[in-house]
């Protein structure tokens, strides 16, 4: 490199530096720990698109975009909004992001992960199916005797459990709705302090408080014109005004609990040929969707009540329970339901009839039952043959 051209080039560069009044390199090298914005995506292959970084960002700087190269959603950090707090780096469960050695130095240390959507499991709705536990990518859902429980401090709010839960027992506490509820609470409290609160009956039932999702914010307690004991989760004195329902951020205070299935097209069905009658499914079901046929002593699932949690199918020792479409199941189970109802009515009638005969009650009951059942069988057989034609249940003939 001794050619004169090279020297000319160097001289030109130096003159340019002087004229521009700008150093090419910054003279001061920042120390190792300086968190220069933005955090970098160091290992994009490891990313599981859980949105933990997006949830933990206090400045709303991160958004997820689909990446064609890696074929998944990757976080995109907005340089303009980043405040270099390094929350995203510590919240990431797989260690994708990095901001100047921060992840290396703090690996394995406890970090209370903040999030804008907090997930909680409503124990009154939970059917104990355990699907959330299977789905959770970081294994923080714990099984308890009456419900499942999310460890809030470690949860990254990926919402996988929320998507899979068959009954909607997992509730989301959103930052925005929380803020709205607090605003509404302050409005009502101002009215209450001026004595302008309209206390007229708006609800017809005394609400109760679910201890599983109550966050003890005390909104209901402060607004209530009656009395609420938050330590024991009890409504002591109710005036039926319904304001507590309006201000509760999680919906923990409520009048009734409805367990409704999310998936309304499918249901589980017990194959009667394979069933061995062990009744494990009957004991396991939390929504009482399984009843035992009084005719053949084999359990069947009521499609309207089934929430497709799949717990019975999991526990069945002979794999007799399968998922089918609701219409298919309804056709076959309808008969069992009608049968059971009729038998129930008859039994009740017999009981009332035999009340008068105290001593021979058991004896009479048995005789009557058997006779009526025989008669009924004949009747039902004829009827079903008429309705269903040749497709009628063959077992009936035996």
Burial of residue 109, with CB atoms counted within 10 A of its CB: 0-12 exposed, 13-18 middle, 19 or more buried? exposed
- Does position 30 bind another protein by CB under 8 A? yes
Which one among 54, 103, 115, 254 touches another protein, defined by CB under 8 A?
115
| Selected range binding another protein among 53-61, 122-130, 333-341, 374-382, rule: CB under 8 A | 53-61
Residues between 259 and 288 with contacts to another protein, criterion CB under 8 A: none
Residue 256 Cα distances to 48, 93, 124, 210, 378, angstroms? 38, 38, 10, 11, 44
The rounded distance, in Å, linking the Cα atoms of 257 and 207 is: 10
Which one among 3, 4, 80, 317 touches another protein, defined by CB under 8 A?
80
- Does position 374 bind another protein by CB under 8 A? no
C-alpha gyration radius of the chain = 33
Residues between 135 and 174 with contacts to another protein, criterion CB under 8 A: 152-153, 173
| Selected range binding another protein among 80-88, 275-283, 365-373, 386-394, rule: CB under 8 A | 80-88
Which CB, 120 or 188, lies closer to another protein? 120
Which one among 7, 218, 264, 344 touches another protein, defined by CB under 8 A?
218
Residues between 234 and 253 with contacts to another protein, criterion CB under 8 A: 249
DSSP character at residue 244: H
**Minimum separation from the CB atom of position 175 to another protein (A):** 6
- Does position 107 bind another protein by CB under 8 A? no
Q: SS3 of 148, please?
A: strand
Those residues whose C-beta lies under 8 Å from the C-beta of residue 398, and which sit 6 or more positions away, are none
Question: Rounded to the nearest 5°, which phi and psi values hold at 215?
Answer: -105, 10
- Does position 105 bind another protein by CB under 8 A? yes
| Selected range binding another protein among 7-15, 52-60, 140-148, 358-366, rule: CB under 8 A | 52-60
Burial of residue 221, with CB atoms counted within 10 A of its CB: 0-12 exposed, 13-18 middle, 19 or more buried? middle
| Selected range binding another protein among 29-37, 42-50, 232-240, 386-394, rule: CB under 8 A | 29-37
Question: Rounded to the nearest 5°, which phi and psi values hold at 312?
Answer: -65, -40
- Does position 81 bind another protein by CB under 8 A? yes
Which CB, 177 or 237, lies closer to another protein? 177
Whether 150 and 119 have beta carbons less than 8 Å apart is answered as yes
Which CB, 182 or 292, lies closer to another protein? 182
| Selected range binding another protein among 72-80, 308-316, 365-373, 384-392, rule: CB under 8 A | 72-80
Residues in the interface with another protein (CB under 8 A) total 60
The full DSSP string for 156-225 is: ----HHHHH-SS--EEEEEHHHHHHHHHHHHHHHHHHHHT--------SS--EE-TTT-----HHHHH-S
Q: Pattern of binders to another protein over 169-208, x per CB under 8 A?
A: ----x-xx-xx-xxx-------------------------
Those residues whose C-beta lies under 8 Å from the C-beta of residue 232, and which sit 6 or more positions away, are none
Which one among 79, 145, 352, 386 touches another protein, defined by CB under 8 A?
79
User: Which helix H or strand E contains 66, and what residues bound it?
Assistant: strand 62-67
Neighbours of 231 (CB within 10 A): 6
- Does position 214 bind another protein by CB under 8 A? yes
Which one among 40, 85, 235, 239 touches another protein, defined by CB under 8 A?
85
Question: Rounded to the nearest 5°, which phi and psi values hold at 121?
Answer: -100, 125
**Minimum separation from the CB atom of position 124 to another protein (A):** 17
Which one among 1, 20, 201, 273 touches another protein, defined by CB under 8 A?
20
Which CB, 3 or 27, lies closer to another protein? 27
The rounded distance, in Å, linking the Cα atoms of 349 and 340 is: 14
For another protein, the binding residues (CB under 8 A) are 19-22, 26-28, 30-31, 33-38, 56, 58-60, 78-87, 100, 102, 105-106, 109-116, 118, 120, 152-153, 173, 175-176, 178-179, 181-183, 214-219, 249
């Amino acid at each position: 490199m001794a050619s004169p051209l090279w020297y000319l080039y160097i001289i030109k560069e130096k003159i340019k530096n002087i004229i521009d009044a700008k150093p090419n390199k910054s003279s001061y090298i920042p120390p190792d720990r300086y968190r220069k914005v933005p955090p970098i995506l160091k290992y994009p292959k490891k990313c599981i698109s859980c949105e933990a970084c997006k949830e933990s960002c206090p400045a709303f700087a991160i958004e997820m975009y689909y990446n064609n190269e890696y074929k998944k959603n990757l976080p995109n950090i907005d340089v303009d909004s980043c405040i270099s707090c390094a929350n995203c780096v510590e919240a990431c469960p797989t260690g994708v992001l990095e901001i100047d050695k921060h992840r290396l130095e703090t690996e394995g240390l406890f970090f209370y992960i903040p999030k804008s959507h907090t997930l909680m499991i409503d124990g009154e709705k939970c059917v104990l199916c355990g699907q959330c536990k299977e789905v959770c990518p970081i294994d923080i859902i714990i099984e308890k005797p009456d419900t499942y429980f999310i460890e809030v401090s470690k949860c990254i709010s990926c919402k996988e459990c929320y998507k899979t839960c068959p009954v909607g027992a997992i509730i989301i506490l959103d930052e925005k709705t929380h803020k709205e509820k607090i605003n509404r609470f302050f409005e009502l409290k101002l009215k209450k302090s001026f004595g302008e609160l309209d206390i007229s009956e708006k609800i017809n039932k005394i609400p109760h408080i679910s201890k599983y999702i109550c966050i003890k914010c005390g909104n209901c307690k402060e607004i209530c014109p009656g009395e609420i004991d938050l330590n024991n989760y009890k409504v002591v004195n109710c005036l039926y005004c319904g304001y507590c329902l309006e201000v509760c951020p999680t919906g923990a205070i409520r009048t009734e609990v409805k367990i409704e299935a999310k998936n309304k097209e499918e249901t589980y069905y017990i194959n009667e040929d394979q069933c061995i009658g062990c009744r494990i499914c009957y004991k396991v079901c939390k929504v009482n969707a399984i009843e035992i046929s009084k005719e053949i002593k084999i359990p069947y699932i009521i499609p309207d009540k089934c929430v497709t949690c799949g717990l019975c199918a999991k526990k069945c020792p002979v794999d007799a329970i399968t998922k089918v479409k609701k219409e298919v199941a309804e056709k076959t189970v309808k008969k069992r339901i009608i049968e059971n109802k009729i038998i129930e009515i008859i039994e009740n009638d017999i009981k009332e009839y035999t009340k008068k005969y105290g001593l021979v009650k058991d004896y009479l009951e048995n005789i009557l039952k058997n006779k009526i059942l025989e008669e009924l069988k004949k009747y039902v057989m004829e009827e079903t043959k008429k309705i269903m034609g040749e497709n009628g249940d063959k077992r009936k003939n035996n």
